[in-house]
């Protein structure tokens, strides 16, 4: 389910420029002389647009930048076919125009932006954190040891971030060892932050079911215990419906006959994140015997079955 875009209340002047595409008078904007280190963000939706190191003095009377944060500013040709308008990719707010060929900087580009279309925040906005909190949806899956789930999901294109930890409802503030020794009722899971515009929850479900044996109760291979259950924690009624429908379809097919899918579908509860030492395990320990004998075959199967979903470096490895 897409996150609802939250828009800020605009003043009449801001609305004239951002919505109705008026142009502010040159040399009047409050950000023209802004020289502090930080980020220029959209006035309407707070999406990061430009970093301070991209800003330069062009003499045009409006804030000028020789580049934009990748993917944050959209360009398209004006109706008159002569100029290129720029807008905020996130909300469509009008910024003004981009010009090229003026030889003002090494990048030969000038984003000329209405000051009133932006606001300045000190410090460099972390784009990963911004995406996780503003544009990404979340899926939470568990099957066997979290290291397997983490390694598989990290390799998918359009998955923004993967966090490993545990979820259920039992012991408050459990430790890594508590969960590992099956003493709390928690399940090892990963939180998957993904871009729903580019990869669907249904696609993640497909990868989830094809990457483990969902007919094993509280176990995957030699990893045995309730902490290794096959489980889908859902974050919306839509996710719950999709998960339950897929389980029904699998059980009605002959894929696992005579076994049945025992994957549980539960509403998400508190997520407890593993300490940093346990995050990103496969990427940091690929020569570990567990990685070599348990995770590598899953990565191989992923590359064979979902080559079109892999991040560029993974796609290269699969060739």
Residue 82 sits in a domain whose CATH number is 2.170.150.20
Pick the catalytic residue from 42, 45, 88, 145: 145
Query: Residue 92: is its pLDDT beyond 70?
Result: yes
| C-beta of residue 73 within 8 angstroms of C-beta of residue 49 | yes
Per-residue pLDDT band for 277 (boundaries 50, 70, 90) equals: confident
Residues 70 and 165 both lie in one domain: no
Q: Please indicate, yes or no, if residue 33 is contained in any of the structural domains.
A: yes
pLDDT of 129-152, one tens digit each? Answer: 776 666 678 999 999 899 999 999
| C-beta of residue 17 within 8 angstroms of C-beta of residue 94 | yes
pLDDT at site 171: 47
pLDDT at site 189: 94
Q: Please indicate, yes or no, if residue 95 is contained in any of the structural domains.
A: yes
Residues 78 and 199 both lie in one domain: no
Query: Residue 66: is its pLDDT beyond 70?
Result: yes
Residues 161 and 122 both lie in one domain: no
Residue 26, domain extent: 12-128
| Antiparallel, parallel or unpaired: β 187-194 and 137-142 | antiparallel
Query: Residue 244: is its pLDDT beyond 80?
Result: yes
pTM: 0.65
Query: Residue 20: is its pLDDT beyond 80?
Result: yes
CA 231 – CA 42 distance, rounded (Å):
39
pLDDT at site 151: 96
Alpha helical stretches, state H, 104-182: 127-134, 146-154, 176-180
Q: How many CB atoms lie within 10 A of CB 233?
A: 24
Mean pLDDT of 55-81: 92
The CATH number for 253's domain is 3.30.1060.10
Give the count of domains, the chain: 2
137: which residues sit within 8 A by CB, 6+ positions away?
1, 2, 3, 193, 194, 195, 196, 201, 235
pLDDT at site 160: 87
Indicate if 91 belongs to the active site.
Answer: no
Question: Of 61, 52, 54, which Cα lies nearest the Cα of 32?
Answer: 61
Q: Please indicate, yes or no, if residue 5 is contained in any of the structural domains.
A: no
Q: Please indicate, yes or no, if residue 7 is contained in any of the structural domains.
A: no
Mean pLDDT of 220-227: 87
Q: Please indicate, yes or no, if residue 213 is contained in any of the structural domains.
A: yes
Domain boundary among 78, 105, 128: 128
Mean pLDDT of 37-54: 94
Query: Residue 319: is its pLDDT beyond 70?
Result: no
Q: Please indicate, yes or no, if residue 206 is contained in any of the structural domains.
A: yes
Q: Please indicate, yes or no, if residue 45 is contained in any of the structural domains.
A: yes
Q: Please indicate, yes or no, if residue 24 is contained in any of the structural domains.
A: yes
Per-residue pLDDT band for 179 (boundaries 50, 70, 90) equals: very low
Residues 56 and 147 both lie in one domain: no
Residues 215 and 248 both lie in one domain: yes
Mean pLDDT, the chain, whole residue set:
88
């Amino acid at each position: 389910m897409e996150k609802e875009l939250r828009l800020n209340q605009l003043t009449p002047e801001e609305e004239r420029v951002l919505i109705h595409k008026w142009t502010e008078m040159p040399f009047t904007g409050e950000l023209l002389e802004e020289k502090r280190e930080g980020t220029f963000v959209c006035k309407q939706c707070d999406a990061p647009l430009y970093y301070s190191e991209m800003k330069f003095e062009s003499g045009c009377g409006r804030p000028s930048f020789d580049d934009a944060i990748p993917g944050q500013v959209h360009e398209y040709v004006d109706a008159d076919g002569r100029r290129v308008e720029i807008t905020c990719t996130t909300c469509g707010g009008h910024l003004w125009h981009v010009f090229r060929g003026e030889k003002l900087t090494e990048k030969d580009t000038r984003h000329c932006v209405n000051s009133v279309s932006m606001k300045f925040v000190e410090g460099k906005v972390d784009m990963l954190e911004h995406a996780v909190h503003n544009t990404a949806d979340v899926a939470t899956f568990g099957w066997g040891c979290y290291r397997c789930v983490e390694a598989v999901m990290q390799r998918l294109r359009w998955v923004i971030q993967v966090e490993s930890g545990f979820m259920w409802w039992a012991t408050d503030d459990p430790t890594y060892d508590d969960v590992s020794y099956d003493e709390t009722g928690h399940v090892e899971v990963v939180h998957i932050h993904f871009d729903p515009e580019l990869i669907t929850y249904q696609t993640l479900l497909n990868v989830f079911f094809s990457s483990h044996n969902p007919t094993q109760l509280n176990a995957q291979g030699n990893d045995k215990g309730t902490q290794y259950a096959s489980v889908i924690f859902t974050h919306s009624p839509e996710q719950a419906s999709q998960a339950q429908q897929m389980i029904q379809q699998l059980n009605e097919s002959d894929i696992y006959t005579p076994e049945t899918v025992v994957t549980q579908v539960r509403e998400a509860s508190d997520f407890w994140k593993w300490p940093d030492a346990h995050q990103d395990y496969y990427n940091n320990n690929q020569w570990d015997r567990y990685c070599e004998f348990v995770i590598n075959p899953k990565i191989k199967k992923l590359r064979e079955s979902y080559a079109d979903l892999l991040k560029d470096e993974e796609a290269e490895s699969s060739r």
